[in-house]
Amino acid sequence: MTAPGTDAPTLEVRGLATHFFTKAGVAKAVDGISFSVGKGEIMGLVGESGSGKSVTGFSIIGLVDPPGRVVGGEILFQGQNLANLDGEAMRQLRGNRIAMIFQDPMMTLNPVLRIDTQMVETIHAHDSSVPQQVALARARDALGEVGIPSPDERLRSYPHQFSGGMRQRVAIAIALLNKPDLIIADEPTTALDVTIQGQILYQAQKLCRETGTALIWITHDLAVIAGLADHISVMYGGRIVEQGPIADVLDRPMHPYTQGLLGSVPGHNRRGQKLFQIPGMAPSLLQMPEGCAFRPRCQIADDACLAEPLITEPVAGRHVRCYHPSDGGAGR
Amino acid sequence: MSAFIIRRLLQSVVVVALMSLLVFVGVNVVGDPVHMLVSPEAPQEEIERIIRNLGLDRPVHEQYLFFVKNALNGDLGRSFVFGEPALKLIIQRMPATFELAFAALLMAIVFGIPLGIYAGIYPDRVSSKLIMSGSILGFSLPTFWVGLMMIMVFAVMLGWLPSTGRGETVSLLGLKVSFLTIDGLRHILMPALNLALLKISLVIRLSRAGAREAMHLDYVKFARAKGLRESRVVMVHVMKNIMIPVVTVLGLEFGSLIAFSVVTETVFAWPGMGKLIIDALHNLDRPVIVAYLMIIVLVFVIINLMVDILYSILDPRVRIKDAGR
Ligand SMILES: Nc1ncnc2c1ncn2[C@@H]1O[C@H](COP(=O)(O)OP(=O)(O)OP(=O)(O)O)[C@@H](O)[C@H]1O
Ligand SMILES: [Mg+2]
C-alpha cells in the first residue's frame, strides 16, 4: 500500500467494471473504465442517459445496489485499493473522505427528519465526540456556504419546506460538511436555475482550488463542464470513448460521438448553423452492438468497426476509443 | 392544527349520533326480551307490567328519544338480567378487556416490527422466509382454534401457564390490573398472544413491505453515502418511515382488537366486556347490547381521532398542511 496523501492521485480507477445481473441478462452498465483525478482537480464525466455515469459514482463509494456488482478493476483512493477495505473502514470513508451528491434532489433527503438532524448525524457518524452545539454551528455554516438564506431558521425545517433547488443545495452542504478529499457530484445543478448554478459552480471550483478537494462532476450538459473542469471523460454504453484536457476535447473532439454531443450544444461556435443531432438511440445494455458500441449511429463507421476498438493515445494526453479518430481541428 | 381537530371532533359527533340510531333500531327489531325474562305461564297482567316497566309499550321512535336523552346523562338503561345499569356493567369489565388489548398491541409492535424489518432487509435468508410463512399461518389459523391449542399445549400438557381467568390483580389508579403481578402476567400471556397473533402477522407484513421499499429509496442510499452506521440507517431512516403506516394501521386495528377480544375472552374465560356481550346476546339483554355497541363506537371514534393526531406528529408533511388550513 502506498502511503496516502503524497504523490498518489486522489482517485485512480483502473478497468472498473460493474455489471447488473438481471433476469433479462447481464447489463454491463460500466465495462472497463479507467481515469484518474488528482488533488484539486475537477473531472467532467459526460454521456447520454444510461451511459453508466451514476453507476460509476456508486461503484466508487461502494454502494451499488443488487443485482449490480463490481466485477472487475481497481479503485485506488489516495493510493489505497478500496477493495481491500472492510465494511466499517469503507463506511468511515463514505461521507467523510469521499462524498457523493445524488442526482435527484427531491428524493435524497429523508422527508420525516429535520435538516439539522440529517446534517448533524453526518458529522457524528465520523466523529461522535463533536459536541452538538459545534456540530450545529458547522451545519449552519455549510448551509450558508451554499447560499441558503437565514440558515439558522432553515436548520429546523423539513425537506418538503424547501424547493427542489434548495434541497439540492442542502445535499451539497451535507457533502461539504466533513471537508472530503473527493466529491462525486451527480448532475448536482440540473435542478437549479442559472444564477444559482453559476454560484454553485464558482464555489465548487473555489473549494477545489483552495482545499485540494478532487471533484468528479457528472453531467450531460457540456456547457456546464466547459468552464469548470480540468479534464473530461466521455462515456458511451458503459465505456469511456474519449478522454483528455477539457479545452482540447471541446475544441478538437476526436471521437465521432463527442463530436455529435458538441454539435447538439447550442451556441458552441455554431451560431446560425442548424443544431446537429446524433441519429438513433442509445443502445440497450442487454443488446450491445457487436464491435464499437457507437457503430450503428456513427456516420464514419466501416467494416473495421465490427471489431472492438481499443483505447489509443493518438496525441499525448488524449485518449480515444475509435478506429477513425479525427486528428482534431479538422472542420472546426 | 386546532381547526383540524375541531373539524374531526364534529365529524366524530355525527358518526356517534348516526351509530346510536342504527344500533338502537337494529337491536330493537330483533327478538322479544320479555319471553326470555318471564315464564310463558305468567299471567297476562304480570307480562304487561313488565313491558311497561321496561318501556317496551311505547313507539320505537319515542323509545329512541328516551334512550338518547338518558344516554346523554350517562344512563344507557338497566340490564334486564342483572338489574344493574348497563353502563356500569360494561365499565366494570372494561379494564380487563383494555388490558388484554393493550398487551396484544404491545406484542404486535415488539414482535412485529423487528421481525418485519429483518425480513425486509434480508429477504433471501431462510430465517426471513420462516418469518413470512409464520405470518401467513398467523393470518389464516382461526383465533379460537389457536387459543384452544395453546391451552392444550401450555396449560394441559406442559402445565406451564394457567388457562383461565385474570389471576391476581392489583389496583392501579383505581383500576384492577393483572400485569403488575407475576401471577397476573402468567395469566395474561396466553390470551394476549392469542389475540395478538393476527396483528403480529399484519405488522410483520407491513414492516417488511415498508423496509423493502425503503431500502431502495434514494434517501436511504444517501444516508449510507453519508457514512452512517447501518444501525442508524435502519433504526432512524428506515424505521421512521415504516412507523407511519404501522401506527396508522395499528391504531385503527386497536378497535378491532377490542371487538375481537370476544373470541379470546370466551376461550380463556377472561372476565372482560367480550364475555359480557356474549352472555347478553344469549339473554337478549338489550340495554347491555346497546351500551356495549355504543361504547365500542365511541372507542373506535376516539382511536381514530388519536391516530390522526399521532399521524400528524409522525409525518411533518401532514402537520404543515394542516397548519396552513
Ligand atoms: N438497479 C439496476 N438494475 C438493472 N440495471 C441497472 C440498475 N441500475 C442501473 N442499471 C443499468 O445501468 C445503466 C446505467 O445507469 P446509470 O444510472 O449509471 O446511467 P446515467 O449515465 O447516470 O444516466 P442518467 O443521465 O439518466 O442519470 C442503465 O442503463 C441500466 O441499464
Ligand atoms: Mg445518472
Instruction: Give the DSSP letter of residue B85.
Output: B
Task: Judge: B227–A65 Cβ closer than 8 Å, yes or no.
Answer: no
The 10s digit of each residue's pLDDT in A80-135 is: 999 888 989 999 999 999 999 988 888 899 988 999 999 999 999 999 899 999 99
Domains of chain A and CATH, by start = 1-97+181-191+208-332 (3.40.50.300), 107-177 (no CATH)
A91/A125 Cα distance (integer angstroms)? 9
pTM above 0.90, yes or no: no
* Residue B28 is assigned to a structural domain of this protein: no
Contact A202, A229 (CB under 8 A): no
Task: Tell me the DSSP string of B195-254.
Answer: HHHHHHHHHHHHHHHHHHHHHTSHHHHHHHHTT--HHHIIIIIIHHHHHHHHHHHHHHHH
The 10s digit of each residue's pLDDT in A41-55 is: 999 999 888 899 999
> Is the predicted pLDDT of residue A322 greater than 70, yes or no?
yes
Which atom of ligand 1 is found nearest the CA of A65? 1
CA-nearest residue for atom 11, ligand 1, is A29
Q: What is the pLDDT of residue B31?
A: 59
Mean pLDDT to the nearest integer, B160-186: 76
Q: What is the pLDDT of residue A245?
A: 93
Q: What is the pLDDT of residue B58?
A: 76
The domain of B124 spans: 86-323
Total number of domains constituting chain B = 1
The shortest C-alpha distance from B237 to chain A (Å) reads 7
The 10s digit of each residue's pLDDT in A262-275 is: 876 655 555 555 55
- A265 CA from centroid of ligand 2 (Å): 19
pLDDT tier at A14, thresholds 50, 70, 90: very high
Bridge pairing between strands A68-77 and A42-46: unpaired
Ligand 1 pocket mutation pick from A33, A53, A101, A222 by most atoms within 8 angstroms of CB: A53
* Residue B78 is assigned to a structural domain of this protein: no
Chain A residues whose CB is inside 8 A of the B217 CB are 107
Considering only CB atoms, A95 lies closest to which of B227, B240, B316, namely B227
* Residue B33 is assigned to a structural domain of this protein: no
The 10s digit of each residue's pLDDT in A144-165 is: 888 888 998 899 999 988 888 8
A312/B303 Cα distance (integer angstroms)? 71
* Residue B69 is assigned to a structural domain of this protein: no
Mutation to test the A interface, candidates B222, B228, B311, B317, most A Cβ within 10 Å: B222
The 10s digit of each residue's pLDDT in B216-253 is: 888 999 999 999 999 999 999 998 888 888 888 888 78
Considering only CB atoms, A109 lies closest to which of B219, B224, B236, namely B219
* Residue B124 is assigned to a structural domain of this protein: yes
> Is the predicted pLDDT of residue A1 greater than 50, yes or no?
no
Q: What is the pLDDT of residue A290?
A: 83
Q: Report helix angle B86-121 to B182-215, nearest 10.
A: 40
> Is the predicted pLDDT of residue B322 greater than 70, yes or no?
no
Residue A241's H or E segment, with its range, is: strand A239-245
A209 in reach of chain B (CB within 8 A): no
Mean pLDDT to the nearest integer, B9-21: 85
pLDDT tier at A191, thresholds 50, 70, 90: low
* Residue B70 is assigned to a structural domain of this protein: no
Say which CATH number the domain at B247 has: 1.10.3720.10
- A107 CA from centroid of ligand 2 (Å): 14
The 10s digit of each residue's pLDDT in B254-275 is: 888 888 788 888 888 888 888 8
* ipTM for the assembly: 0.88
Residue B5's H or E segment, with its range, is: helix B2-29
Contact A15, A204 (CB under 8 A): no
Chain B residues whose CB is inside 8 A of the A126 CB are 227
